[in-house]
Structure 1
Amino acid sequence: MTEQPLRSSFGAAAAAYAEHRPDYAQAAVRWALEVAPGHRVLDLGAGTGKLSATLIAAGADVVSVEPDPAMLTELRRALPTVRALPGSAEAIPLPDASVDAVLAGNALHWFDMAVAGAEIARVLAPGGVLAGLWNVMDDRVDWVAELEWVSGSAAIGPRDTLSGWRTATADMLGPAARFGSAEQVEFPHGQRRTADSLVATLTTRAGMLVMPDPDREAALGRIRAFLGSRRVTAEGEFTLPMLTGVLRARRQ
């Protein structure tokens, strides 16, 4: 399957995405911004505003850009005071040198960096920062690694676990020639979940959204059975071991 149907799939589940996807570790956002020259921040591929909300809490002056109309509607509903614009990483609706940092939450892997790299560099002020953030499951924990195996790649893909994220993002900025060497750092960000709410979160993954209904129901059945069989996840709330991983580079 090509990436276009995957990256275009989220609008159909915008409300569920807004309800079930986690926010981002505040320590990760602070680290992403600590070398930026100022506080003007673009949240690129902003989705329903999960990262925008964390940036606002950190004191940033935020503008959000999102290509999907349904996701943008949810963002505007959740954050009515934020300047939220339609647009994409490959065609950013902002003037040259208008922001000090560009951050992307669980979105940078969808960008065509051969094109988007130049656009991001254009809107960044001199010395500006580009950072991608991802919420990933900590597969160093045994039951999380088992859940990954049971779920299959449609529900838990290569960037959704710590080990996969480190590999998948290491060279992600390679096509963006206008940026220096990237740094990778992770920050703890455990999430309180129940078995039902974890299943609901996994259903918002792109691979699950584009699955044929019978295949999706079969995958969800396996996941529910696994969660019901483990003492840590079978009853009530539990902490899902997660981290926010950050990939950061400075505009050259």
Structure 2
Amino acid sequence: MDHDPISSRHVKQARDAERQRHASSFGAAAVSYAEHRPDYARDAVRWAVGGAPGVRVLDLGAGTGKLTATLAALGVDVVAVEPDDAMLAELRRALPGVRAMSGSAEAIPLPDASVDVVVAGNAMHWFDMAVAGPEIARVLAPDGVLAGLWNLMDDEVEWVAGLARVAGGAAVGPRDTPAAWRAATAGMHLPRAGAAAVRFGAPEQVEFAHGQRRTADSLVRTLATRAGVLVMPEGQREALLGRVRGFLDSVPETARGEFVLPMRTGVLRVRRL
């Protein structure tokens, strides 16, 4: 059957518009994002960048600086780039000693071959890699590394699997649990091999144990910062978060006081050739 190129174009435009709507939703919740989103497992960050103090690292789509802070603590020379003004303001407030710039993966405000590593924390799935891939390759030095990091809810733990079912795809999306992350990110963030001036080696996927100390209230607030929840109509959002809170109140592990949300940090790393 022949495909209608106009219809295909419209479908792509609609998908791109929806992706942009989700990607741009975080600024309105920047303060909550900074307060409630987890950091990244330090071993995962160290593996992503190679662990050498002084290595030049670009944190791309840096948000409020969750990953940036861990990079700075490891002693790397980090520069953060973030397109949303409200998120960038939170980053600058929290990390005044870090160079933080307005920019995007598709238009990186750095010179050619100026960094050894490009990382993105829970951000690379928002990039338009057809444009961002050549930009990332441009700013990477020869033999440089591109690494995406994602914080994952460990649904191999029974109560976490139950939470994921109650929260649904808006709050626990297609890259938010380990098995789903492995499938969704196996090749999604990489520039196409053979594209002009963009050549990367084989990707590596590794997961690192992690956890976040939460209460039922703060975990609900964490899930409220997910893009799928932020774009919901208010009534639907409140109903969803109410169901999540009801579930947490019913589970012995989460019903009283503080607990540790079992997590992993997944890293997808590739080296520029």
Q: In structure 1, what is the equivalent of residue 154 of structure 2?
A: 138
Does 1:207 find its partner at 2:228? yes
CA distance in 1, matches of 2:135, 2:190: 15
Letter in 2 for 1:251: R
1:174 Cα deviation (Å)? 4.3
CA distance in 1, matches of 2:234, 2:110: 40
Maintained 8 Å contact 2:124/2:189: no
1:187-202 alignment runs, 5 A limit:
187-202=208-223
Letter in 2 for 1:194: T
Which of residues 143, 147, 172 is equivalent to 2:163? 147
Maintained 8 Å contact 1:36/1:101: no
Q: In structure 2, what is the equivalent of residue 23 of structure 1?
A: 39
Does 1:119 find its partner at 2:123? no
1:175 Cα deviation (Å)? 3.6
CA distance in 1, matches of 2:77, 2:31: 25
Maintained 8 Å contact 2:26/2:225: yes
1:1-252 alignment runs, 5 A limit:
2-34=18-50, 39-177=55-193, 178-252=199-273
For structure 2, the 5+ residue unaligned runs are 1-14, 194-198
Cα 1:120–1:174 change in 2 (3 A) is closer
Maintained 8 Å contact 2:210/2:262: yes
Letter in 2 for 1:65: V
1:176 Cα deviation (Å)? 3.8
CA distance in 2, matches of 1:191, 1:3: 27
Cα 1:94–1:60 change in 2 (3 A) is same
Letter in 1 for 2:234: D
CA distance in 2, matches of 1:53, 1:97: 23
Cα 1:97–1:48 change in 2 (3 A) is same
Matched length: 252
CA distance in 1, matches of 2:77, 2:229: 34
CA distance in 1, matches of 2:113, 2:30: 31
Runs of 4+ in 1 over 6 A off after TM superposition: 35-38
CA distance in 2, matches of 1:154, 1:144: 16
1:190 Cα deviation (Å)? 1.1
1:77 Cα deviation (Å)? 0.4
Maintained 8 Å contact 2:52/2:76: no
Kindly report the root-mean-square deviation, in angstroms, between the aligned alpha carbons of the 2 structures. Answer: 1.4
CA distance in 1, matches of 2:189, 2:172: 23
CA distance in 1, matches of 2:37, 2:192: 28
Maintained 8 Å contact 1:42/1:101: yes
With the length of structure 1 as denominator, give the TM-score of the two structures: 0.97
Cα 1:35–1:240 change in 2 (3 A) is closer
1:179 Cα deviation (Å)? 1.5
Flag the structure with larger Rg: 2
Maintained 8 Å contact 2:125/2:189: no
